[in-house]
Amino acid sequence: MKANDMSLKKVFEDFYLVPAFQREYVWKERQVGALLKDFFTDSEASEIFYLGNIIVENESTGSENHFNVIDGQQRLTTCLLILCAIRDIMNVQNVRVSPELLGLISAETVDTVTLIDRLDVRVNLQYEDSQDALKDIVQGSTQKSRKQFRGKGYSESSKRIVKAYETIYEWLSNNYTSDNLKLFATSFYNRTRFIRIEAENLAGALRVFELINYRGVTLSAQDLLKNLLFMNANGEETKLDAKWKSFIEELEQVDSQPARFLRYFIMARYEGAVIRKDQVYSWFADEKNRKKCLLSKGNWAPLMETLLDTVRAHRLMLEGKSPRGADCYPLTNLELLGGASMRQHYILLMTAFDLEPEDFELLASRVEDLMFCSLIANVSPRDLEKPFAKWGLMISKINSHGELLEFLEKELDPEIRRLAPKVKENLERLDDRALPKHLKYVLAKIEAHLRQLKHGKAESLASLMDNRYQVEHISSFHSDWEKHGVSKEDVLAGSGTLGDLVLLEVTINTSIQDAPFAKKRPEYQKSEILLARSIAEDLGVGLETRQRRMARLLQQFEEWNDASIQNRCDMLMSISTEIWPFLQEVK
């Protein structure tokens, strides 16, 4: 192994092939802009601009000056794009481009098979998703590149390459004149430096890659896992590459933090305990853990297939569907309740995709109850990671409906009952200072329960929690009371508490805000929301006997005062005990 400190000019005396199994170009405007700005800032102080390590090997290329890139393709590709943009700006401004600069972009070589001269690009992307975007830019066909980019003729990776080129072109045009652009070019390829680490062969390069990143160089967990898998591919790199690309495509849809998915995957399926995000790769690298997931030389398929099955099930769950594709309202409700910041429950659910649809729905419903309880009881969802990891291992071994019921009775239900007293206390004290989505969730759950009693079928909360509806204060002057020329004594003591809140269409709410109750009351009758209409109207009139039970749960109000607010709060809490039966056990 050799390690050399080299300028970009020296690095680009050679040629670099990015193997098909490497991930595609992923840098976006933020990373490209940061590199340019960092160089610009450093150049003010005339400092060397280090861009870190690149890891290469050339045994498999059959050429002394052609290297396979194992780590560093994002930086090398971006540097090549910068040189292309400098050349193109100079051409537009009729400034002579030096042969030295052109030679750093591409150069003639002799094909070792045909012995025919050919023009080689300094960085050659060999993965399918490149679709010649980089070659088009290198050859000066930028109009062709942009046309295909705008016309959706490129893959997402190629679009990112073209977008990076456009970002660089615009930045350089805005920051340099034709005279100082030449100075910038010379400075850029002379002062930008890499440590180029040359391994004897591909296996050695992958081991170096693993060692360096294990010690803290910032590469993502999925990149490290990918290289670990390829170290065990044993001649099946093409087959593995296709599977890996499918996995990454799914992963990009399900989580903006891929390391979180891998962390949850390990915790629930193999470990049964919490691990940190920075431990993900070291977990896979440990020999005893590789045995757990059946990863060994030439035997990459079991882990890869399990990853694929899990990420596909996870994507369906995020779409509000069970792993077999059926609508699952509890999953939709969980996303509405917590959003992207609350994903801990998937530690448990991502091991449950072999359950029968009815059993999965039952489990998801109970998990929704638990997550709701933790939020209302002011318990951080993060505190549930440990039990979810333990339960994930248990769920993966369940084979029947009876075993699931036993698991719920012994594990989840006791945790829900433990939180129930605090949940009831905080629900009764809930007011408009709570997080809006939590407040809206509670009112939407009550409304959905009433609709189920009326129509005989369950429904998702999605339509009730969209932006067509707002949480309305029934009392007047609940806020900005001074603007209305009234004293603070005119504001009801219960204003803004649970009994004073209702879900209402934005169109109606806008027309009656801060109006007296006498004017609001007839407007509530125009609402589709049962909780709102029932304030002014007996909803049991004309209904069948089966449906009247819904109406009997609701009260009408002729006037609005603190007694009315307390009565309505008691009414809502009574309905809540039907939605969350565990509240009935709280004294």
Cα(26)–Cα(127) distance, integer angstroms: 13
Query: Cα dihedral angle (464, 466, 467, 473), rounded to 10 degrees?
Result: 40
Q: Quick one: tokens of 294? A: 């059946």
What is the C-alpha to C-alpha distance for residues 329 and 321, in angstroms, rounded to an integer? 8
Measured distance CA(519)–CA(484) in Å, rounded: 16
* Residue 540 pLDDT grade (very low, low, confident, very high; cuts 50, 70, 90): confident
What does the DSSP 8-state code read for residue 2? E
Q: Model's pTM, two decimal places?
A: 0.68
| Contact call for residues 499 and 572 (beta carbons, < 8 A) | yes
Which pair of structure tokens corresponds to residue 239?
Answer: 């087959």
| Beta strand segments in 392-483, E | 469-473
- From the list 163, 100, 162, the residue with the least C-alpha distance to 135 is 162
**Contact (CB, 8 A) for 303 and 293:** yes
Please tell me the distance from the alpha carbon of residue 444 to that of residue 286, in angstroms, as a whole number.
47
For residues 63 and 412, give the distance between their C-alpha atoms in angstroms, rounded to a whole number.
62
Q: Kindly report, residue by residue over 35-76, the tens digit of the pLDDT.
A: 888 887 665 545 678 888 888 887 655 677 888 888 888 999
pLDDT at 386: 93
* N-term to C-term CA, the chain: 72
What proportion of the chain, given as a percentage, has pLDDT over 90? 45
Residue-wise burial string across 515-549, b where 16 or more C-beta atoms lie within 10 A, e elsewhere: eebeebbebbeebebbbbbbbbbebbeeeeeeebe
Specify the amino acid at residue 173.
Answer: S
Mean pLDDT, residues 73-82: 94
What pLDDT digit, counting tens, does each position of 397-434 carry? 999 999 999 999 999 999 999 999 999 999 999 888 87
The predicted model gives 304-332 an average pLDDT of: 92
Contact 572, 449 (CB under 8 A): no
Nearest to 293 by CA among 319, 255, 265, 317: 265
Pair 76, 16: CB distance under 8 Å? yes
Where residue 490 falls among pLDDT bands split at 50, 70, 90? low
The per-residue pLDDT for range 207-261, each reduced to its tens digit, is: 666 555 544 344 567 776 877 787 788 778 888 888 988 898 888 777 657 778 8
Alpha helices in 300-408 (DSSP H): 301-318, 329-338, 346-349, 357-376, 385-395, 401-407
428 contacts: CB under 8 Å, gap ≥ 6: 498, 569, 573
pLDDT tens digits, residue range 96-142?
Answer: 999 999 999 998 876 665 667 778 899 998 876 665 788 889 988 66
pLDDT, tens digit (0-9, with 9 covering 90-100), for 171-212: 999 888 877 888 889 999 998 988 888 887 766 666 666 555
What local confidence, expressed as pLDDT, does residue 271 receive?
Answer: 87
